[in-house]
Amino acid sequence: MSKTKNKIAPADYLKLVTRFPIRPLGSEKDHAAALAAIEPLVGRRDLTAGEGMYLDALSRFIEDYEEERHPVDTSSLTPVEFLRELMEQREMNVNDLGRVLGSQPLASMILRGRRGISKTSIMKLAAHFRVDPGLLMDRPRSANRPRRRPTRVA
């Protein structure tokens, strides 16, 4: 008889699930409750494995709900404007973005328009925000969209 290991979720994960179950969200009330459930976990660097699992799982359902019920028209946004929108939705600041990119100064330069978003950064951001990488790439300018002048650094 072969032995199989029964993988049980960590106790802190199960405790969180009893407070707010992992499931698709069906209403604004569910959405608000889910946001309240993850609020104490967001931005913490000292999450346990169970807390991290819970945050990842419930965040996916929150994102799915927001995409379905509150879609953002990205057609008129530049990649940096789209990035700012993603950050605002998740209540992130430049330091949070810096942790995603591995460099706070890089995050700051990107947000101020002093530096473009590299392919490496695009892939990190797309994975973190769970979006199509194409939304963070420069798109060809339309005829009615003015070209921005580059910012001069003294």
Whether pTM exceeds 0.85: no
Say if residue 46's pLDDT is above 70.
yes
The two structure tokens encoding residue 25: 């969200």
Of 25-34, 41-50, 143-152, give the lowest mean pLDDT range.
143-152
What letter represents residue 91's amino acid?
Answer: E
For residues 113-138, average pLDDT? 90
Q: How far apart are CA 8 and CA 10, in angstroms?
A: 6
Q: How far apart are CA 125 and CA 92, in angstroms?
A: 13
pLDDT of residue 2: 45
What is the CATH number for 152?
Answer: 1.10.260.40
Say if residue 16's pLDDT is above 80.
yes
Same domain, 97 and 132: yes
Q: pLDDT confidence of 141, banded at 50, 70, 90?
A: low
Q: What range defines the domain where residue 129 resides?
A: 73-141+148-154
Determine, yes or no, domain membership for 1: no
The two structure tokens encoding residue 149: 């002048």
Total domain count, the chain: 2
pLDDT of residue 1: 46
Determine, yes or no, domain membership for 3: no
Same domain, 130 and 103: yes
Say if residue 75's pLDDT is above 80.
no
Determine, yes or no, domain membership for 34: yes
Note whether 55 and 42 are within 8 A (CB).
yes
Same domain, 22 and 62: yes
Determine, yes or no, domain membership for 109: yes
For the residues of the chain, what is the DSSP string, one character each? Answer: -------PPPHHHHHHHHHS------SHHHHHHHHHHHTTTTT-S---HHHHHHHHHHHHHHHHHHHHHS----TT--HHHHHHHHHHHTT--HHHHHHHHT-HHHHHHHHTTSS---HHHHHHHHHHHT--GGGGS--PPPTTSPPPPPPPP-
For residues 56-83, average pLDDT? 86
